[in-house]
Amino acid sequence: MLTVALPKGALLNDSIKLLQSVGLDFSGFLDKSNRQLQIQDPTGTAKALLVRAHDVPVYVEYGQAQLGIVGYDVLREKTSQVAHLADLEFGKCRLSVAVRDSSPYRRSLELPPHGRVASKFVHCAREYFNNLDLPVEIIPLYGSVELGPITGMSEAIVDLVSTGRTLKENGLIEIDTLFESTARLIAHPLSYRLNTYGLSHWAEQLHSSTVALVN
């Protein structure tokens, strides 16, 4: 049976709507009284796993799910061995460098050498600053990253930004963008090559539905 890994959090609603548009209904995950982490589509065609966003590529890479929906930011951070099938064009946000609005820095290159940058996106942040040839210390934080500059623990942060409201409310401003992120459809590479459970059909249907929904 086809298994799809779905991300908890901001992408879940749109992911379920997209799957419903091709005949797969996992809306049970939206029922707050439901504590199940695995449910089956009423037609018996497929089942879905509800996992942390950062775990979606892991379940797909190891073959516990043949398809997955996950943000591009997670794919860049995890560097998992998965097949990247389509940009689903929802969940738009960006990974940005931000500093306190009172900071003298207005570009990443103005940050001091060996300064500190807090982020939960450690790999992406390190790659970005390495490409700038600017040595910085990356401080891993997995809670309220905005507190890094506020408390003086770091000069800057690298974090996801959608509307920018959280930054503004905490006295921070964006100074650079690493990349834009949207939801992506991924697959287990071998299963996709072998067309296990009709993967190519489902991938084509989901991509076509994405185009229709966007247009």
Average pLDDT on 103-118 reads 96
The fraction of the chain above a pLDDT of 70, given in percent, is: 98
Task: Give the sign of the dihedral formed by CA 167, CA 168, CA 174, CA 177.
Answer: positive
Greater confidence (55 vs 210) lies with 55
Q: What's the pLDDT at 34?
A: 84
Axis-axis angle for helices 12-21, 199-214 (nearest 10): 110
Q: 153, 118 in Cβ contact below 8 A? A: yes
**Predicted confidence (pLDDT) per residue in 124-160, tens digit:** 999 999 999 999 999 999 889 999 999 999 999 999 9
pLDDT, position 33: 85
Q: Which residue has the higher pLDDT, 190 or 35?
A: 190
- The full set of domains in the chain, from first to last, is 2-91+182-214 (3.40.190.10), 93-180 (3.40.190.10)
d(CA 181, CA 205): 22
